């Protein structure tokens, strides 16, 4: 039989305990630091990103990867928005929104490309949100972190993306309305004249039809402007 001195065995257990303690789980402290960082973001007005300092990144441990899900989304969407903006500007120039019917007529050849590029951009946004949601679903988060993280995720990803999609859908609707109005005018060129925002004709039927198209276009424009204001309010809101 082999016997072990009790005091020697106790010393081994103490040493083992110290060893395990030195390699213990820092998860609670890392989670606490990460939650505090996310709360700073949630308390700020609008969807503004914070860049963690090197010491914060170290303090977060593996939870830094959770924040990378959000920052990678922002990088990808910013790059996609830059590409979209360049394509649209290359198509219509830097003059901004058409202010007169004459400007709308001159831009008619560009409208299909604008509509197509905008639809592609919307799809890019929706696909990237789906990817971010899948990445979030794969994260292992205790309930206390998940509650705070979900608020940050909505603030920095879900809400801004929803506003961008709504605004761009409004732009497509606006483009389609412009096309209908311009096409009608071009189809009746011999019976009407255009000056600024006015269309004049002596034909009562054309007057009724073109006025209906102009009124519809104005209503679409109001809805589009409201989506832009909603987006701005979301950016400014707490």
Q: What is the pLDDT of residues 82-127, one digit of tens each?
A: 999 999 988 887 666 778 899 999 999 999 999 999 999 999 999 9
**The predicted structure's pLDDT at residue 96:** 65
Determine, yes or no, domain membership for 2: no
Sign of CA dihedral 48, 53, 56, 62: positive
Q: Is the pLDDT of residue 18 over 60?
A: no
Q: In whole angstroms, what is the distance from residue 195 CA to residue 202 CA? A: 15
Number of structural domains (the chain) is 1
Determine, yes or no, domain membership for 21: no
Q: In whole angstroms, what is the distance from residue 122 CA to residue 172 CA? A: 10
Question: First and final CA of the chain: distance in angstroms?
Answer: 73
Determine, yes or no, domain membership for 6: no
Q: In whole angstroms, what is the distance from residue 231 CA to residue 234 CA? A: 5
* pLDDT tens for each residue of 26-79: 589 999 999 999 999 999 888 888 899 999 999 999 999 999 999 999 999 999
* pTM of the full structure: 0.83
**The predicted structure's pLDDT at residue 91:** 85
Which residue range forms the structural domain that includes residue 34? 27-41+50-236
Q: What is the CATH number of the domain that holds 58?
A: 1.20.120
**The predicted structure's pLDDT at residue 21:** 36
Determine, yes or no, domain membership for 10: no
Q: Which residues contact 99 (CB under 8 A, 6 or more apart)?
A: 197
């Amino acid at each position: 039989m082999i016997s072990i001195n009790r005091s020697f065995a106790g010393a081994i257990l103490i040493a083992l305990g110290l060893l395990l303690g030195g390699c213990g789980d820092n998860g609670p402290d890392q989670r606490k630091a990460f939650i505090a960082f996310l709360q700073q973001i949630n308390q700020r007005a609008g969807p503004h990103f914070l860049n963690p300092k090197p010491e914060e990144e170290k303090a977060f441990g593996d939870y830094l990867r959770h924040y990378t899900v959000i920052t990678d989304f922002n990088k990808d969407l910013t790059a996609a928005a830059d590409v979209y903006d360049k394509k649209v500007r290359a198509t219509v120039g830097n003059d901004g929104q058409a202010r007169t019917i004459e400007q709308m007529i001159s831009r008619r050849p560009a409208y299909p490309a604008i509509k197509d590029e905008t639809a592609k951009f919307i799809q890019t946004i929706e696909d990237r949100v789906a990817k971010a949601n899948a990445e979030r679903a794969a994260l292992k988060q205790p309930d206390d972190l998940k509650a705070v993280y979900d608020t940050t995720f909505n603030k920095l990803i879900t809400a801004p993306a929803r506003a961008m999609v709504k605004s761009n859908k409004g732009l497509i609707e606006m483009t389609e309305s412009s096309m209908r109005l311009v096409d009608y005018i071009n189809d009746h060129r011999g019976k009407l004249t255009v000056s600024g925002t006015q269309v004049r004709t002596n034909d009562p039927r054309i007057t009724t039809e073109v006025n209906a198209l102009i009124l519809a276009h104005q209503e679409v424009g109001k809805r589009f402007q409201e989506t832009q204001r909603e987006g701005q309010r979301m950016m400014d809101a707490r």
